[in-house]
Structure 1
Amino acid sequence: MSDFTKITVVSVTGLQSLADGALLAIEQSMRSLPGSRGLLMSPARPTHLPSDIMHIAVKPFGYLEYSLFMLYALGEFIRTEFVLVVQNDGWVLNGSNWRDEFFDYDYLGAPVHLARVTHAGQSSYRYGFEWLPYLNNPECRVENIYNGGFSLRSKRLLEAPRKLGLEFKIPVPGVCPGPPFALHWQGEMVLEDVWLCLTVRRDLEDCGLRLPNLGVAREFSIEHAIPAFHTPDIISNIFGHHSRLRKIRDLTLKQIDYGLRPEQVGLVYGEQWIVDEFNKNNYQISWANP
C-alpha cells in the first residue's frame, strides 16, 4: 500500500475569491490519498475549514508574486517529503491511478502546450503543441514544460532555488492588446513552472534532482489532450488534471463548472474523453451558458 503520509496536499492563493475552490480541491485530493496532510495558504481562513487541514495566512498577491512564493517560500512551511500542489481548477481525478513510481521524481506535472525547440543553434517557443513534430527529429532538442497547477514536488525541489541561489530574472515585458491591458512575456518565462522546466532545469538536474520524461508526465496528469499523444485508454489511467476549463464547485455533489458548452466539447481534441472520465467518476457537470 502506498505511503501517502509523505505528502502534504497544498494550495496557495493570494486571491481570497479562489480560496473556497482551492479548499475543495485539497479535500477531494486528500480523500484519494489517505494519510496525507492538508494545507491551505490564503489571505483569510475559510469559515468551514476542516480540522485536518491547516490554514496559514498570506497577504493578497497576484500571479507574479505567486510564482516567487512557490519557488522561494513554500518550502519553509512543508514538513513532509513531498507536496501535491492543487488549485480550484486542478485536483486528483482518480486516486486509483496513483503509482509509487511518481515518488522517484522531484517535480512532476502534465505536459503543456508550450515547449522550447532548438534547431541548428536557434531556439524558439512553440505554442499549441506545435513542438510535437520535432520530438523524433534527432537534429532538434525539445524542452517540455510540466504544469505546476497540479504537480508533485519534493521537499528538495522546494528548497533548491534558495539553497542554490538561483536568481529569478524578470525579462522586459511586452503589452498585450486590450482593453483590458496586461503585461506579456515571450515564452511565459515568469511563470514558475516554465522557470523550473526551462530556465533552471539543468541547474536542478546537475544537483541530482529528477524531472520526468514525457511518458511519465503523461500518465501523472493532463491539462489538455495532445494530438497523437493521448488516447482514451491513456486518459482513463491518468491520476490528476488541471485546466481553466474545469473548476470544482461542490464537494458533496461532486459538481464542477465546465468552461465549454456541450456542443463545443467535440471541437477540442480529446476533451470528450476527459468529460467521459469525469462522468465515470460520478461528477456532475455544470456547462457554460450559451
Structure 2
Amino acid sequence: MLVEPETRSVGRIALPEVTLCAVTSVNIAATIQALERSLGEIDFGACKLFTNRPVSIDPRKITVVPISRLESSAAYSDFLLSALADHVETSHCLVTQWDGHVIAPHLWRPEFLAYDYIGASWPQFDDGHDVGNGGFSLRSKRLMEACREPEFRKSHPEDIAIGRVNRTWLESKGMRFAPRALADLFAAERAGELGSGFGYHGVWHMPRAIGVEAFWSLYQGLDDRGTIKHDFARILGEVGRGAGGLPRAIRMILDHVADRLRGSGRDDAHAGPAERPDEL
C-alpha cells in the first residue's frame, strides 16, 4: 500500500516560480481537493482555479478566475493553448486536473524548471516524442506564449499538440522538453511508478494514492464520470476490496450502466489523451 505523503514531511517547499492551476467546468469539488492536496506542503507563487461554476473557497489559498463554460474537452484544449498564458505571471505553470496532484513533494527536483515542458511519459510512443501527458504537467510561460504564435498548429488534445504535433517546431524555437527518464521522476500516469515521482495523473491511481475511503467519498460527488469509463474494471477492483467493498462495487456498476445508457461523459470538459485512448 502506498504511504501517504503527509507521513513523510520534510518541511514546506517554496516554489515562487510556479503557478498551480486547474481549468474545468465539471467535478469542481474534486478539482479543489486536488489543488488543496498539492498545496499541502508547497508554497506556490500562485494558485488559480479557472471555472464558470460558483465556488466558495478561501481566496488566500486559491484564486478563482471566472471563465465561460467549457462545452467540450476540445474547448479545454483551446483554453490552455490560447488563454492560460494571460493569467500566469510566474516563469512556469503546473497544470493539474481533478484526478491528479502532487503526491511526494520531497521528490521535487530544481532541474524540472530547466525545461519548458514536463509531463508523464507516453509508453505508446517510441519515436522520442514521448513527453508527455498534460493532466499533470509543468510548462513554461514562454512555451505557452509560443503556442499562440501563428505557426503553431492547434489541435486536440492539447498535450498531443505540444508534445507531438508541434514538438519539432517548438524545439526549433529553443523550447526544451524533459527527457523521458526525468519525466518519469516528475509524474506517473500510464508509465512511471506511483509514489516514485513528484506527482501523478489518472483516476485509476486514486484509490491507492489517497486511499479507498477518500476516493469513494470523492467519487460520490462527481458530476462527470467520463474519465472513469476507460479504466472501469481496474478501478472497480480497487474499490471492491475490504470492508464495504461489495456495496461500493454494486453502486459503481449501476452508475456505469446508467452512464452508458444516457451517453454520459462522451466529451467531458477536461479529458486528456491517456483518458481517451480512442483519440491516440
The structure that has the greater radius of gyration is 1
Change (3 A) 1:197 1:239: same
- The equivalent residue for 2:21 is 10
Kindly report which structure 2 residues correspond to 1:21-60, keeping only aligned pairs within 5 A, or say none: 21-60=30-69
Q: Which runs of 5+ in 1 are unaligned?
A: 116-130, 132-140, 170-189, 266-285
Q: Is the 8 A contact 1:111 1:145 kept in 2?
A: yes
- The equivalent residue for 1:156 is 142
- The equivalent residue for 1:173 is none
Q: Is the 8 A contact 1:71 1:192 kept in 2?
A: yes
Give the CA deviation at 1:48. 3.0
Give the CA deviation at 1:239. 0.5
Which whole-Å deviations, capped at 9, do the CAs of 1:19-43 have from their partners, x for residues lacking one?
A: 2211111111122322431100011
State the alpha-carbon separation in 2 of the partners of residues 218 and 32 from structure 1: 21
Specify the code of the residue in structure 2 equivalent to 1:262.
E
- The equivalent residue for 2:168 is 202
- The equivalent residue for 2:249 is 289
SS at match of 1:195: helix
State the alpha-carbon separation in 2 of the partners of residues 260 and 92 from structure 1: 24
Q: Calculate percent identity across the aligned residue pairs.
A: 29
Which whole-Å deviations, capped at 9, do the CAs of 1:188-238 have from their partners, x for residues lacking one?
A: xx211111111100111111111111101110000134xxxx5xxx65431
Q: Is the 8 A contact 1:145 1:194 kept in 2?
A: no
Q: Is the 8 A contact 2:13 2:41 kept in 1?
A: no
Change (3 A) 1:45 1:51: farther
Kindly report which structure 2 residues correspond to 1:32-181, keeping only aligned pairs within 5 A, or say none: 32-61=41-70, 62-115=72-125, 131=126, 141-163=127-149, 165-168=151-154
Give the CA deviation at 1:108. 0.5
Q: Is the 8 A contact 2:48 2:63 kept in 1?
A: yes
Give the CA deviation at 1:245. 1.9
Which whole-Å deviations, capped at 9, do the CAs of 1:49-87 have from their partners, x for residues lacking one?
A: 443211111111210011011011100111111111111
Q: Which runs of structure 1 show a deviation greater than 3 angstroms over 4 or more consecutive aligned residues?
A: 262-265
Q: CA RMSD in A?
A: 2.9
Q: Is the 8 A contact 2:100 2:201 kept in 1?
A: yes
- The equivalent residue for 1:222 is 188
- The equivalent residue for 1:176 is none
Scaled by the length of structure 2, the TM-score of the pair is 0.68
- The equivalent residue for 1:238 is 197
State the alpha-carbon separation in 2 of the partners of residues 167 and 6 from structure 1: 28
Q: Is the 8 A contact 2:20 2:94 kept in 1?
A: yes
Match of 2:237 among 245, 258, 261: 261
Q: Which runs of 5+ in 2 are unaligned?
A: 1-11, 220-234, 251-280
SS at match of 2:86: helix
**Residue-pair matches, total:** 215
Give the CA deviation at 1:3. 4.4
Kindly report which structure 2 residues correspond to 1:179-190, keeping only aligned pairs within 5 A, or say none: 190=156
Q: Is the 8 A contact 1:22 1:87 kept in 2?
A: yes
1 or 2, which has the higher helix percentage? 2
Q: Is the 8 A contact 2:132 2:163 kept in 1?
A: yes
State the alpha-carbon separation in 2 of the partners of residues 263 and 39 from structure 1: 31
Scaled by the length of structure 1, the TM-score of the pair is 0.66
SS at match of 2:106: helix
Larger RCO, structures 1/2 (Cα 8 Å, 6+ apart): 2
Change (3 A) 1:23 1:41: same
1 or 2, which has the higher strand percentage? 1
Give the CA deviation at 1:161. 1.4
Change (3 A) 1:254 1:41: farther
Specify the code of the residue in structure 2 equivalent to 1:23.
I
